[in-house]
Amino acid sequence: MRVAVVGATGAVGREILRVLEQREFPVSELRLYASARSAGRSLSFRGQEVTVEPLPETPLPADVVLASAGGGVSKQYAPLWAKESVVIDNSSAFRYDPEVPLVVPEVNPEAIRKHKNIIANPNCTTAILVMALFPLHRAFRARRVIVSTYQSASGAGASGMEELLEGTRSFLEGRPVEHRVFAHPLPFNVIPHIDTFQENGYTREEMKVLWETQKIIGDPTIRVSCTAVRVPTLRVHAEAVTVEFERPVSPEAAREVLRQAPGVDLVDDPAQRRYPLPITATGKFNVEVGRIRRSLAFDNGLDFFVAGDQLLKGAALNAVQIAELLASVPG
């Protein structure tokens, strides 16, 4: 397939290139695009240097466009690209459009059949959550979900990671910690504020988890409440999850379900200090799930902890997996 990557020089764009290479995606031709100020750079792919081109205001010469340049760019150009390519968009521009499938391949691969040349990649927090939630929902039927997130600096892209690193250096050297990307200084801090606040008191990031979970799982009756928190880690979003189920559930039964779930690593041995961690989930394709225990708040409930690489399953990997689904469909 002819592949175009839009936003190739960003954190997610670079991960897309690595994932395409690692998974041996059948690329016959690769075109890389970015803003005018990033054009002219070279990025390595399969031992060759590929020059980054400025994004034209025309359709792109590709079968698949992997877009990660922000919602504004996608809103403006994706309909144009979709005239000649299938667009897999990593922004929020089309996630809530009823005509655009929102896909996590381990959860709802059948949704791609409905695409009209645009497929949306979910928010990173949602993608990581549904990897653990969906197999449990299928087995025990989830009714209410409470999520508290521990989201890394990488959720704000390369600039967020750089601000954390530079701010940490400044803090340790006794200099003032400046912040532009985040609402407050992030080093040695946590910030319960991601995205813009809505009229109901939740942030848009928190509402995305509700809207997207319902759409991906295909059940608008699931009730989800989320508190999204930025923490001073570089990569991996972690989530503490409480779920009330319709059917009786036990930690042992849940472990067996998750042990067999695709894309999930069961890391659940507290006696040996084995549980999901950002440091062990970094760079990993699978999502780690552990700390599985009975809820003390709900009769048919579980508490568990999830950690997944925001730049991989939360973004680049999921996009490439969608492209793999497209490549496997005849015609």
Nearest alpha-carbon partner for 59 in 16, 4, 121: 4
DSSP one-letter code for 274 = B
Cα(63)–Cα(237) distance, rounded to whole angstroms? 31
Q: How far apart are CA 119 and CA 111, in angstroms?
A: 9
Q: Which long-range contacts (CB under 8 A, 24 or more apart) does 87-90 make?
A: 87/117, 87/118, 87/119, 88/64, 88/119, 88/121, 88/319, 88/322, 88/323, 89/118, 89/119, 89/120, 89/121, 90/7, 90/12, 90/66, 90/121, 90/315, 90/316, 90/319
Whether 124 sits among the annotated catalytic residues: the reply is yes
Between CA 238 and CA 246, with CA 243 as vertex, the angle to 5 degrees is: 155
Q: Which helix (H) or strand (E) holds 211?
A: helix 204-217
**Backbone phi, then psi, for 315, in 5-degree steps?**
-160, -85
Q: How many whole angstroms separate alpha carbon 202 and alpha carbon 190?
A: 17
Catalytic residue (one of 115, 137, 226, 237): 237
Is-contact 194 151, C-beta < 8 A?
A: yes
- Active-site entry in 115, 124, 137, 226: 124
List for the chain the helix, strand, coil content (%; round to 5).
35, 25, 40
For the record, the structure tokens of 59 come out as 């359709």
Could you confirm whether 226 is annotated as catalytic? no
β-pairing, 86-89 vs 118-120, is parallel
Q: What sign does the dihedral 63-69-75-77 (CA atoms) show?
A: negative
The Cα 211–Cα 223 span in angstroms is 10
The residues assigned a catalytic role are 124, 237
